[in-house]
Amino acid sequence: MARFTKIQTLTAIKNTGIVPVFYHRDAETAKEVLMACYKGGIRAFEFTNRGDFAQDVFAELVKFAQKECTEMIIGIGSIVDAPTAALFIQLGANFVVGPLFNPDVAKLCNRRLIPYSPGCGTVTEIGVAQEYGCDLCKIFPAGNVGGPSFVKAVLAPMPWSMIMVTGGVEPTEENLSAWIKSGVTCVGMGSNLFPADVIKTKEWNKITELCRYCFKIVEKVR
């Protein structure tokens, strides 16, 4: 069951500006990554539903966070249908993210007052998602549908929009600055924030340092 309110969740996502997107089949590895991000200043974390028994790892991660990372808000990503969303909400998901928009997921999340960020690739899709109560819409894959210039174009006639971008976000000053300057509410960052060699060698401090570096860029540009 979600521990944070919808307002608390959206505020944390907006204030941090960076939402790590991560999956690993090993719960202990996931815990280490979560803690590394937490130490780096991250307060919203998206675990993705991308492997067998992802729900088991997620359940352990939520329980771990409640004890060790008390301010961390954990959401579930890669959700494409309502039954799966319901499962993860029951396990403690505070927000739901998907690669596409599914009205059934929107209705379910609205009923539980849980933020749902669906993947959208056009202005019309964003508009429809907003009609279904999606406060924070995800542009995905952001780097392929137009990049920062697309975000600026959307916000011009729809300045009330809250936009998350995922896909094409890199932990560099040039890339992050461009996205933040475009007006995004936050960026979602996956493999670029978690290099495979770092995960393999368990150099968790490098993830913490990278999170801090990215967070400073966001604060500087804002």
Say yes or no to pLDDT of 174 above 80: yes
Average pLDDT over residues 195-199: 95
Distance (Å, whole) CA 60 – CA 114:
20
pLDDT in tens, 53-89: 999 999 999 999 999 999 999 999 999 999 999 999 9
Distance (Å, whole) CA 57 – CA 93:
12
Strands 116-117 and 119-120: unpaired
pLDDT at residue number 170:
95
Say yes or no to pLDDT of 2 above 80: no
Angle at 80 between CA 119 and CA 18, to 5 degrees: 45
Average pLDDT over residues 141-154: 95
- Res. 124 pLDDT band, cuts 50 70 90: very high
Average pLDDT, the chain: 96
Q: Facing residues of 166 across strands?
A: 188
Q: Facing residues of 203 across strands?
A: none
Domain range list for the chain: 6-216
pLDDT at residue number 153:
96
Evaluate whether 9 touches 44 at the Cβ level (below 8 Å).
yes
Distance (Å, whole) CA 40 – CA 34:
10
Evaluate whether 143 touches 31 at the Cβ level (below 8 Å).
no
CB neighbourhood size of 50 (10 A): 13
pTM equals 0.96
pLDDT at residue number 3:
86
Contacts 24+ apart (CB under 8 A), 85-93: 85/109, 85/116, 87/55, 88/49, 88/55, 88/58, 89/1, 89/2, 89/114, 90/1, 91/55, 91/58, 91/59, 91/62, 92/1, 92/2, 92/3, 92/58, 92/59, 92/62, 92/63, 93/2, 93/58, 93/62
Distance (Å, whole) CA 192 – CA 169:
8
Distance (Å, whole) CA 89 – CA 94:
7
Say yes or no to pLDDT of 1 above 70: no
Tokens, residue 113: 């007052």
6-216: CATH superfamily: Aldolase class I (3.20.20.70)
Average pLDDT over residues 123-147: 96
